[in-house]
């Protein structure tokens, strides 16, 4: 029995699902109420909810995983780096949900002139009203970082959605060429801001193609905690990918970006190939995360040949890894539990009592997305987006 978003449902029971939490739990029922996972068990009965108002979805052995977390999304629209015609439109909740993504971390990019943190927070709140879980970051490619109040600490303390900084560029000709002291002070500031606000606090650093690679980040490690640093785009070229194991040996997370592979990115390596290589080099797979750079824009060939990165590329790489023979729980961990751990999102990324009810049901054959639950609401049912009550989608 399907109900549209916003209808009067007090709870949801997903029955007969092959649960990957992301570890395999076998066939289970999962009860959801008030946006949370209430309990998990076999053939649940005597439930502590009003069964008259309970929605029941029989998964019939389909695969149930946590909702995907995409930690690097240009939700205001990426691009702009090749002139006015290279700007992407804003993200819609529907695009995320149809890709199995239930949580995003939104960021600014190269354009911090026409896009700002106030608009980013407003967009986050708009998407949250459509049941997409959204966080955002101060920043942009340039330094000093862009904020809403004029202070990173005040932003993180006063604005629930702001949980860190992203994505100041290093080792890139487009960066503002920050000094080591600039980097050191920024990471130290986000550390204290996080402590004040009860958040982890992190800086996502954009890694470019300059020969310095990740050396600037390694150089500041004696003075700052590595858990507050998440470098992005490790798979963009052979040099930074070769430096990834050293970063992991220090306990750092390695984020891989889906679209950075040939032929468009001639020096890059695909996410599935990069993960296979890094594991063969002894990198702990729990330190690997994957993000889409979603709604960003490639301007490699000028504005007449731009293309936008859709959010479903994250799901596509999970599917590729699974089709290559990777156990589903592992494939999903790179976009769920590992990401939640990297960014201190304690209520996300796992199917567990007390966690947020963000779930994806996929067909056993081909991993076609059947049902998506976000913030406890069924937002995709039988492969179809459940219509918003607002009449528009943003």
pLDDT in tens, 224-248: 999 999 999 999 999 999 999 999 9
Quickly state the pLDDT bin for 303 (edges 50, 70, 90): low
pLDDT in tens, 141-155: 999 999 999 999 999
Instruction: Name residue, tokens 């029955």.
Output: 15
Residues with Cβ within 8 Å of 344's Cβ and at least 6 positions away in sequence, in order, are: 163, 194, 199, 200, 201, 202
The answer to whether 108 touches 139, Cβ cutoff 8 Å, is: yes
The answer to whether 141 touches 151, Cβ cutoff 8 Å, is: no
| pLDDT(124) > 90 | yes
Quickly state the pLDDT bin for 53 (edges 50, 70, 90): confident
| Domains of the chain (ranges, CATH numbers) | 11-65+349-385 (2.30.40.10), 68-342 (3.20.20.140)
Predicted structure pTM score: 0.95
H-state helical runs in the chain? 93-98, 117-128, 152-158, 180-197, 215-220, 238-249, 271-280, 312-323, 328-333, 337-342
Distance CA 243, CA 232 (A): 13
Distance CA 364, CA 61 (A): 8
Give the model's pLDDT for residue 300: 66
Q: Which of 29, 189, 255, 293 is catalytic?
A: 293
3-state DSSP call for residue 212? coil
294: Cα within 13 Å, side-chain hemisphere? 29
Distance CA 281, CA 274 (A): 11
Assign 3-class secondary structure to 285-300.
Answer: HHHEEEECCECCEECC
Distance CA 97, CA 278 (A): 30
The yes-or-no answer on residue 189 being catalytic is no
């Amino acid at each position: 029995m399907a109900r549209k978003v916003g209808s009067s449902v007090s709870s949801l029971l997903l029955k007969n699902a092959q649960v990957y939490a992301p570890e395999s739990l076998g066939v289970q029922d999962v009860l959801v109420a008030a946006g949370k996972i209430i309990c998990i068990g076999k053939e649940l009965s005597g439930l502590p909810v009003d069964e008259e108002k309970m929605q029941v979805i029989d998964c019939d052995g389909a695969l149930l995983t946590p909702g995907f977390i995409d930690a690097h999304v240009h939700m205001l629209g990426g691009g702009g780096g090749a002139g006015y015609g290279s700007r992407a439109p804003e993200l819609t909740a529907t695009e995320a949900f149809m890709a199995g993504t239930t949580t995003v971390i939104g960021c600014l990019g190269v354009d911090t002139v026409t896009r700002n943190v106030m608009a980013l927070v407003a967009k986050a709140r708009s998407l949250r009203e459509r049941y997409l879980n959204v966080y955002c970051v101060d920043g942009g490619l340039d330094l000093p970082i862009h904020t809403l109040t004029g202070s990173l600490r005040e932003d993180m303390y006063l604005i629930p959605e702001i949980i860190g900084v992203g994505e100041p560029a290093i080792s890139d000709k487009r960066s503002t060429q920050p000094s080591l002291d600039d980097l050191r002070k920024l990471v130290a500031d986000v550390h204290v801001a996080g402590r004040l606000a009860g958040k982890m606090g992190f800086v996502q650093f954009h890694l470019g193609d300059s020969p310095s690679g990740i050396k600037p980040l390694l150089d500041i490690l004696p003075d700052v905690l590595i858990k507050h640093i998440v470098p992005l785009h490790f798979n963009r070229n052979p040099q930074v990918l070769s430096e990834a194991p050293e970063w992991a040996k220090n306990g750092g997370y390695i984020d891989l970006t889906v679209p950075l592979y040939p032929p468009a990115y001639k020096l890059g390596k695909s996410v599935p190939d990069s993960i296979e290589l890094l594991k063969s080099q002894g990198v702990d797979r729990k330190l690997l995360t994957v993000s889409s750079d979603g709604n960003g824009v490639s301007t490699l060939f000028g504005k007449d040949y731009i293309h936008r990165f859709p959010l479903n590329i994250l799901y596509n790489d999970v599917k590729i890894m699974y089709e290559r023979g990777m156990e589903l729980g592992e494939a999903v961990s790179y976009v769920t539990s590992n990401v939640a751990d990297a960014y201190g999102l304690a209520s996300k990324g796992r199917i567990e009592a007390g966690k947020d009810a963000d779930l994806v049901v996929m067909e056993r054959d081909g991993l076609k997305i059947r049902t998506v639950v976000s913030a406890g609401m069924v937002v995709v049912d039988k492969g179809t987006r459940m219509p918003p009550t607002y009449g528009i989608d943003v």
